[in-house]
Amino acid sequence: MPRFSIIVPSHGVAGRLGRALDSVLAQAFGDFELIPVCDAPGSAAADVAAGHAARDCRVAPVHAPPSAGLAGARNAGMRAATGTYLLFLDGDDVLVPGALAALDARLTETGPVDVLHFEHERAPWWEGEPGNPAAPLLADAPDGVFAPGRAPRLTGVLLPAWSAAWRRAFTVERGLAFPGGHFTDVGWGAAAMLGAERVAVLRSVVVRHLVRRQGSRLNLPGHHHAELLDQVELVLTRAAREGLPAERSGPLFEQLFGLVLKTAAHPRRLRSDRRAFFRRAGRLYRRHRPAGYRPPGGSLGVQHRLLASGCHLAFAALRGARRAVTGATALLPRPRGLRTRLRYRAQLRRPLDPHLAVYCAYWGRGYACNPAAIHAKARELAPHIRSVFLVEAEHAHTVPDGVEYAVVGSRRYWEVLARATYLVNNANFAEGVVKRPGSVHLQTQHGTPLKTMGVDQSVYPVVAAATGSFTRLLGRVDRWDYNLSSNPHSTRVWERAFPGSYEHLEYGYPRNDVYCTAGAGDVARIRAELGVPEGARAVLYAPTHRDHHTGFETGLDLEAFCEAAGDDVVVLLRAHYFYDRGGRGGGGGRVIDVTAHRSSEDVCLAADALVTDYSSIMFDYANLDRPIVVYADDWDVYRETRGVCFDLMDGPPGPVARTPDELARVFRDGSYADAESDALRARFRERFCPFDDGRAAERVVRRVLLGEPPEALPPVIPLAERVPAPAAAATLVRS
């Protein structure tokens, strides 16, 4: 019995089939059988397969009529297979060198598993950077063998059949076969994961998928899109029959209807069938929606609700408005390499646009932070200035309706960067961006520094290794004209960490304006959106990144903390943005994961108290004048490996806990919000919150975009006269 049976459907790919078969036969690991599935003897693909079979006895072609489709071809291959594990390979894709050896090694390590998911590479047909779409999904899976319930987002819906090895005996025992029609991978993968008991992942690329120039056949217009709903109904019916628990049914439901909404949003694919498609999808949604299911937030959540209510006209209007704003940008090419440089150079020869401003936050991670707050205020105070926000394609959904944006790397991205007079960023623009005479670069920063920054990191090896060239860093600093500061401490640190000729603007952080402008109604609305129960004490837990760790670790058993801290305590977990893959949301029990929520300011407004270690969020949260507890279980290690600008333990914003028991106790006995805690926070606010009075964005816009002199700007409201947004809890001290 061979280790692997590799099934290769070949309909319509005869010209590329030889390369696919060669990639298998060239593998160093040779314990396999190769089963090309051809239309009929004498067809072009059959001739290619026959030639390979004549040269290698491991090649055993079988036949399936074209009318059977992809599902019929794969099922024919499965019937002929004798191997322990099944692998599927499209006839125009290839196995990467060493793929079978890597699979064998991983399966030897795990022992028998029903499904072994692995990564694949999507390679553009002509030029462009390859992608690895499976990597983020597999990154969250457990390392060893696990039951599907431990990785509920690994539903089998989002991965193609050729991105896994399937134990053949398992498929036989469960009676698995590819369902007929289009979108067969959805039905197969979901059914397999519903029946699997032992699953593992291999975090390396096995298959290189060639993206066709004309795109996937599934995306072409036609009546076949109705078959997606057939697959969805098949899967959800099977899930209901098997009594899938809520923690798995929710992700499965959401991923299936994510595909449905993606199709519904492209009316050209559906032609005249779009109303019928939408109505049937709505019926399926209502019939199979899991009990207690909460739709995602943002625009996607609105689409969920419209689908559930059957409001096709409203859905079409929403999508039409969205496309009117963003469609042209999304379709622009993303040039790279020589052509990118030539286009950018050509744009640099054109004059600056005096009424163009470009904004970016967190390297294009979305509409957020100080740049977003300045952008919003500029639309109010300087409407004559055209504002363009730069975002990565996968974060374009965070841009509010009506906000003009450009996708990072697109032709339009380089055009606006070349011609903008004003460039605003909380990190740094790309290495190749030129500082033009007459342009104005504003660096807003994105936090008050506790940890070492900039060139100060050079003496800390772990951090310096990840920072890269300090010479290049300083080259980027030389582009700055203004650097925003939220307090005198920050000004001093920036001067040392980022030496340059820029002007400091001690105006406060625009993103913190909302802490003085929001009201009780805003707080209640945000808490409801995040799922905070009424009457609960919401404790925001926001740990920082550890340079000496390779992944996110909470550092606390949060469920245990809730139990020990009090019956009314819930935790809002917000990991560092380095660990936001866009997939978090919700949570189990009394822990609500808000890592993927677009606004850290919203999360802070919703929280009655903050627990953090050394994250800069403490300086922002202090503007709310609500309790803060520092959980410093590894302060000495952090200080030695990362380096700090001051000793937090000498002037904390509230009580300091070193152990989980100490942390729970300060909430249980109310000392987190007692008079001593208030006194610590007051001293902390005097030091770090002198300028955040709710008008920082206005000062920035008037000074930088409108050119008003410093003496004409709104004066800072004294700390004692500010009225922060109220907390939700009537009283924070509970015994």
Four-residue CA torsion sign, 82, 88, 92, 95: negative
Q: How far separated are the first and last CA of the chain, in Å rounded? A: 67
Cα radius of gyration (the chain): 28
* C-alpha closest to that of 319 among 271, 393, 265, 257: 265
* C-alpha closest to that of 555 among 569, 532, 567, 571: 571
For 378, phi then psi, to 5°, come to -65, -35
Q: Rounded CA gap, 149 and 588, in Å?
A: 13
Give the largest CA-CA distance in the chain.
88
State residue 735's pLDDT score.
Answer: 30
State residue 586's pLDDT score.
Answer: 43
State residue 720's pLDDT score.
Answer: 93
Residue listed under structure tokens 């106790």: 665
Listed in sequence order, the DSSP H helices in 369-519 are 369-381, 411-419, 461-467, 470-477, 488-497, 514-517
* C-alpha closest to that of 48 among 73, 18, 24, 77: 18
State residue 89's pLDDT score.
Answer: 96
Specify burial of residue 555 (Cβ count, 10 A radius: 0-12, 13-18, 19+): middle
Average pLDDT over residues 56-82: 94
Lowest mean pLDDT among 207-211, 248-252, 616-620: 207-211
Average pLDDT over residues 323-350: 63
Position 11 pLDDT exceeds 90: no
Amino acid of residue 316:
A
For 611, phi then psi, to 5°, come to -120, 125
Listed in sequence order, the DSSP H helices in 498-599 are 514-517, 520-530, 558-565
Lowest mean pLDDT among 130-134, 162-166, 705-709: 130-134
State residue 101's pLDDT score.
Answer: 97
State residue 340's pLDDT score.
Answer: 74
Position 328 pLDDT exceeds 80: no
Position 326 pLDDT exceeds 50: no
Instruction: Locate 244 and state its tokens.
Output: 């899938």
When pLDDT is cut at 50, 70 and 90, the band that residue 331 belongs to is very low
State residue 701's pLDDT score.
Answer: 97
Listed in sequence order, the DSSP H helices in 97-225 are 99-110, 135-139, 168-173, 184-195
Average pLDDT over residues 133-146: 92
Tally of residues, the chain: 735
Q: Rounded CA gap, 435 and 422, in Å?
A: 11
State residue 315's pLDDT score.
Answer: 80
Position 333 pLDDT exceeds 60: no
Does the pTM surpass 0.85? The reply is no
When pLDDT is cut at 50, 70 and 90, the band that residue 656 belongs to is very high
State residue 56's pLDDT score.
Answer: 95
State residue 325's pLDDT score.
Answer: 46
Using a pLDDT cut of 70, give the percent of the chain over it.
90
Q: Rounded CA gap, 207 and 132, in Å?
A: 10
Q: Which residues of 694-727 are buried (b: 16+ CB within 10 A; e: fewer)?
A: bbbbbbbbbbbbeeeeeeebeebeebeebebbbb
Q: Rounded CA gap, 240 and 248, in Å?
A: 11
For 630, phi then psi, to 5°, come to -95, 120
Q: Rounded CA gap, 342 and 432, in Å?
A: 12
Q: Which DSSP helix (H) or strand (E) runs through 679? A: helix 675-688
When pLDDT is cut at 50, 70 and 90, the band that residue 319 belongs to is low
Amino acid of residue 155:
T
Number of neighbours of residue 649 by Cβ within 10 angstroms: 13
State residue 388's pLDDT score.
Answer: 96
CA angle 164–165–166, rounded 5-degree value = 115
DSSP code of residue 705: I
Helix (H, G, I), strand (E, B) or coil at 502: coil
Most confident segment among 86-90, 299-303, 725-729 = 86-90
Specify burial of residue 549 (Cβ count, 10 A radius: 0-12, 13-18, 19+): exposed
State residue 114's pLDDT score.
Answer: 97
Strand ranges across the sheet with 62-63: 62-63, 32-38, 4-9, 85-88, 164-167, 115-123, 199-210, 94-95
State residue 335's pLDDT score.
Answer: 43
Residue listed under structure tokens 């407004």: 605
Q: Is 398 left (phi over 0), alpha (psi -120 to 50) or beta?
A: alpha
Position 404 pLDDT exceeds 90: yes
Residue listed under structure tokens 């390499």: 337
Q: Which residue has the higher pLDDT, 339 or 558?
A: 558
Position 650 pLDDT exceeds 90: yes
When pLDDT is cut at 50, 70 and 90, the band that residue 562 belongs to is very high
Lowest mean pLDDT among 37-51, 302-316, 360-374, 397-411: 302-316
Q: What is the pLDDT of residues 569-623, one digit of tens each?
A: 999 999 865 444 444 444 457 999 998 888 899 999 999 999 999 999 999 999 9
Asked whether the beta carbons of 507 and 596 are under 8 A apart, the reply is no
Position 291 pLDDT exceeds 60: yes
Q: Give the bridge partners for 34, in sequence order.
A: 6, 59
When pLDDT is cut at 50, 70 and 90, the band that residue 125 belongs to is low
Q: What is the pLDDT of residues 182-200, one digit of tens each?
A: 999 999 999 999 999 999 9
Asked whether the beta carbons of 84 and 1 are under 8 A apart, the reply is yes
Q: Rounded CA gap, 654 and 625, in Å?
A: 11
Most confident segment among 25-39, 203-217, 323-337, 429-443 = 25-39
Q: Rounded CA gap, 446 and 425, in Å?
A: 9
Q: Rounded CA gap, 282 and 520, in Å?
A: 36
Average pLDDT over residues 405-416: 92
Position 321 pLDDT exceeds 70: no
* C-alpha closest to that of 137 among 586, 581, 587: 581
Q: Rounded CA gap, 443 and 439, in Å?
A: 13
Asked whether the beta carbons of 48 and 18 are under 8 A apart, the reply is yes
Using a pLDDT cut of 90, give the percent of the chain over it.
65
State residue 320's pLDDT score.
Answer: 66
State residue 503's pLDDT score.
Answer: 92
Listed in sequence order, the DSSP H helices in 184-273 are 184-195, 226-241, 246-264, 267-270
State residue 461's pLDDT score.
Answer: 63
Q: Rounded CA gap, 320 and 401, in Å?
A: 12
State residue 324's pLDDT score.
Answer: 54
Q: Rounded CA gap, 35 and 150, in Å?
A: 34
State residue 684's pLDDT score.
Answer: 97
Strand ranges across the sheet with 482-485: 405-407, 386-391, 353-360, 420-425, 440-443, 482-485, 503-506
When pLDDT is cut at 50, 70 and 90, the band that residue 95 belongs to is very high
DSSP code of residue 8: E
Q: Rounded CA gap, 359 and 697, in Å?
A: 14
Listed in sequence order, the DSSP H helices in 468-592 are 470-477, 488-497, 514-517, 520-530, 558-565
Four-residue CA torsion sign, 496, 497, 499, 500: negative
Strand ranges across the sheet with 628-631: 591-593, 569-573, 537-541, 609-612, 628-631, 656-657
State residue 308's pLDDT score.
Answer: 87
State residue 190's pLDDT score.
Answer: 95
Asked whether the beta carbons of 444 and 637 are under 8 A apart, the reply is no
Amino acid of residue 42:
G
Asked whether the beta carbons of 264 and 281 are under 8 A apart, the reply is yes
When pLDDT is cut at 50, 70 and 90, the band that residue 498 belongs to is confident
Q: Rounded CA gap, 733 and 735, in Å?
A: 7
